[in-house]
Structure 1
Amino acid sequence: MKILITGANGFVGRNLSETLKAIKEGKDKTRDIIVDDIFLFDINNTLDNLDQYTKHCDYVINLAGINRPQNTSEFYEGNKGFIETLCSFLVKNKNKCPIIASSSIQVGKDNDYAKSKKAGEDYLKEFSKQNGNQVYIYRFANLFGKWCKPNYNSVTATWCYNIANGMDIQINDPNVVLPLCYIDDVANEIIKCLKGTPNYNGEYYEVSPIHEVSLGELAETLKKIRESRNDLSIVNQSDEFTKKLYATYLSYLPEPEFSYPLKMNIDSRGSFTEFIRTHEHGQVSVNISKPGITKGNHWHHTKNEKFLVVSGKGIIRFRKIGESHVIEYKVSGEKLEVIDIPTGYTHNIENIGDTDMVTIMWANEMFNPEKPDTYFEEV
């Protein structure tokens, strides 16, 4: 399959072209589709390029358009005029390949952008009747995801960028609800269309799911994501929208701030450092023990833990409260295995190697100094 993408350097075009490129190069083997060539056309190309591409393509994906012109006429030139040019080359080259075209849910509103997109839709529908090309018109909702230009026409991109860079955001009405679509869902839907299984709602083609989110909810979630670096929390990503928004936010981090420090609690025995704290899934910490050091010698009523030694050598010992039998597990970074720490067993971990022993520790709850559920007793 040879695919022509117009508007290839835009937000959707860039994400889609990289997705198709991975398929073409065999890096993504999960898609049941063969991509032989990808022709990328954008403002830097010439009409001669467009002429050549339309001679050979099996599909056209038209993502070219204008949404922030200097004057009103550019709306119609970019959103309808270019479609006319594109279709004229298809006619010239006798190419009746299918056309996948981007439009907008703005269609139907009383503004020039919406009117120009509707004019483009109408031209494509008539062209389909006259020339025989199958046309799939997608009315995109408000899109978000990596590589979307901030401070342009996406509130999600702008807020992600501003909040990640410590800048203020403006909310005129927090109750306004936005229909949002994630860029990977757009790419997935277009691939479905290429395979012949598009999502049609009876009037036009659309990407699903559409996430209905108020401006207030969007701002609150983004601020929680920002604060997660400070309180070591992870925003609950059990819902798909938050998961997608979290991924989007990270793509706007300033490059010098990809990393952030953790507070290391250091003493002569080594160190203990909290890494992640969540209400839903507990706490993850990193424990470093010096050679010959034993840590622990305590037990819990309800709190439970998992230990994973990733470097060094050690022994984890258990003794059931009220009994004398001691259980031992030898652990090392050479053979990764998780040791569950059952409730009602006092336990410790000893470094028996010559180097520092590094242990990843998970507890099913965040540490609460007012309810530590931790009782000293030698194993």
Structure 2
Amino acid sequence: MKKVGITGQAGFVGNHLYTTLTLDETVELVPFERDFFDDQSALESFVKQCDTIVHLAAMNRHEDMNVIYNTNLGLVEALITACKTTSSTPHIIFSSSSQEDRDNLYGKSKKEGKEKFVSWASETGGKFTSLTIPNVFGPFGKPNYNSVVATFCYKVARGEEPTIIQDGEVGLIYVNELVAVFIETIKNQVKSESIGENSSEVRIQPTSKNRVSRILELLNQYKSDYMGNGIFPSLENQFEKALFNTFRCYVPEAHYPVKFTKHTDPRGSFVEIARTQTSGQFSFSTTVPGITRGNHFHTRKAERFAVISGKALIQLRKIGTDKVIDYYLDGNEPAYVDMPIWYTHNIKNIGDEELITLFWINEPYNPEDADTYFEDV
């Protein structure tokens, strides 16, 4: 059992890495709190417990660039001091940036922080790996902070008009892909180049390159087709699937439940559940009163629950949080709720009659790669 601690585990990348590692039975996570860097004894206790420390804590934005520079170097120095004081020699994995070669104080803080860790590893026999990371995007990024994708997703989903300042080509990596590299590094399965005694680096390349205008074009299409008409886009292209899953996590809670258009004539009723530009699996279930189905989450699948008969309570909770979202649906007004990735979800029959629910998911079920993890809402 490898003991792994993540500084900055509450941040964008840190949260994704932490929640993914909770699914790995070979890893024991050592909890980290923001105030550990203000409490020397707490920081020392943290480093003593860790076989591996992923150092993600950093300041990315501030009006005064000197504050960014001093803060980031201060965090590195505090971590090194705690290791030296406790004679701890964990494998430290450092989140560097593609800006480290640029002439700005943020990039300089990353470059000099890396150099300090290299010296520490050489002096103490600890192990150090630097990961040079390109621009990252994915669910739950902070708009106007983490990435242009986060900002655009937030604004487009709310009907706002984003501004393109410079329509250049942007190299991006999806956060799931980045997390996979971190995990390979934790498990010593990544290819790296030596940069000193006991030190190495991995220069991670973008997995996609797109003009800013193309990204905005896709997001506006998702707004029109998906939010406006319930149409799922093609999910064959890996970047577009990642962008779509990211966009879905910015759809306001108030958007759901979405009511269907119900066509009725003497023969009965017809309701179109979903139009899709991708493959997938449609299914339905009947549920007796009082029974709950589900209580699981997915990390990549797009899924829709549609209630067409009976009364249901659909509940969602983002993994790692306590907030439960409740949606009440009634088959007299057929409606659906879509399940964001990393949200555990269930559906309960709260009526007196049989509940009929239709389901759509973008991947046919594969028991060898189910992407289904059970956790109660």
Structure 1 residues 30-179: aligned runs within 5 Å: 34-43=26-35, 46-174=39-167, 176-179=168-171
Which of 148, 173, 179 is equivalent to 1:181? 173
User: Which whole-Å deviations, capped at 9, do the CAs of 1:283-325 have from their partners, x for residues lacking one?
Assistant: 9899xxxxxxxxxxxxxxxxxxxxxxx99xxxxxxxxxxxxxx
Once the two structures are aligned, what percentage of the paired residues are identical?
Answer: 30
Q: Structure 1 residues 86 and 242 mapped into 2: Cα distance closer, same or farther (>3 Å)?
A: same
State how far apart, in whole Å, the 2-side matches of 1:266 and 1:202 are.
70
Per-residue CA deviation, residues 337-362 of structure 1 (Å, 9 max, x unaligned), is xxxxxxxxxxxxxxxxxx99x89899
What does 1:337-352 correspond to in 2, within 5 Å? none
Look up the match of 1:349.
none
TM superposition shift of 1:177: 1.0
1:21 and 2:31 matched: no
Change (3 A) 1:279 1:154: closer
* Distance of 2:60 and 2:185 partners within structure 1: 25
| Contact 1:185 1:207 survives alignment (8 Å) | no
Alignment of 1:224 with 2:225, yes or no, is no
Q: Which amino acid aligns with 2:125?
A: G
Larger displacement relative to structure 2 (196-205 or 229-238): 196-205
Aligned to 1:3: 4
Listed as ranges, the gaps of 5+ residues in structure 2 are 196-200, 285-307, 310-352, 361-377
RMSD between aligned residues: 3.0
Pick closer, same or farther for the CA change 1:199–1:275 going to 2, 3 Å: farther
> Relative to 1, partners in 2 of residues 1:269 and 1:284: Cα closer, same or farther, differing over 3 Å?
farther
- What secondary structure is seen at the aligned counterpart in 1 of 2:75? helix
AA of the residue aligned to 1:277:
R
1:262-287, Cα deviation, whole Å (9 max, x unpaired): 2222112111222222456699899x
Partners of 1:15 and 1:179 in 2: CA distance:
20
**Higher-Rg member (1/2):** 1
Report if the CA contact (8 A) 2:36-2:42 is conserved.
no
Task: Write the mapping of 1:242-261 to structure 2, written as runs, cut at 5 A.
Answer: 242-261=240-259
Deviation string, structure 1 residues 164-222 (Cα, Å, up to 9, x no partner): 11111001233x11111111112221111111112437873144662111101100111
Closer/same/farther in 2, CA of residues 64 and 280 from structure 1, 3 Å limit: closer
Aligned to 1:269: 267
Which residue of the partner structure matches residue 205 of structure 1? 202
Following superposition of structure 1 onto structure 2, how do residues 345-360 of structure 1 map, counting pairs within 5 Å?
none
The alpha-carbon distance between structure 1 residues 90 and 128, as it changes in their structure 2 partners (threshold 3 A), is same
- The CA distance in 2 between the partners of 1:17 and 1:283, in whole Å, is 30
Alignment correspondent of 1:191: 183
TM-score by length of 1: 0.68
- How far residue 84 of structure 1 moved from its aligned partner, in angstroms, is 1.1
Contact kept? 2:30, 2:46, Cα under 8 Å: no
5+ unaligned residues in a row in structure 1: which ranges? Answer: 25-33, 287-309, 312-354, 363-379
Contact kept, 8 Å, 1:274 with 1:283, in 2: the verdict is: no
CA distance in 2, matches of 1:361, 1:85: 51
- SS at the partner of 1:40? coil
Counterpart residue type for residue 216 of structure 1: S
The aligned residue for residue 291 of structure 2 is: none
Q: Distance in 1 between matches of 2:280 and 2:17?
A: 37
Give TM-score, length-normalised by structure 2.
0.69
Question: Structure 1 pair 106/258, CA: closer, same or farther in 2 (3 Å)?
Answer: farther
Contact kept? 2:30, 2:49, Cα under 8 Å: no
Distance in 1, Cα, partners of 2:133 & 2:70: 20
Asked if the contact 1:64/1:78 (under 8 Å) is kept, the reply is no
Q: Is the 8 A contact 1:4 1:41 kept in 2?
A: no
1:12 is the counterpart of 2:13? yes
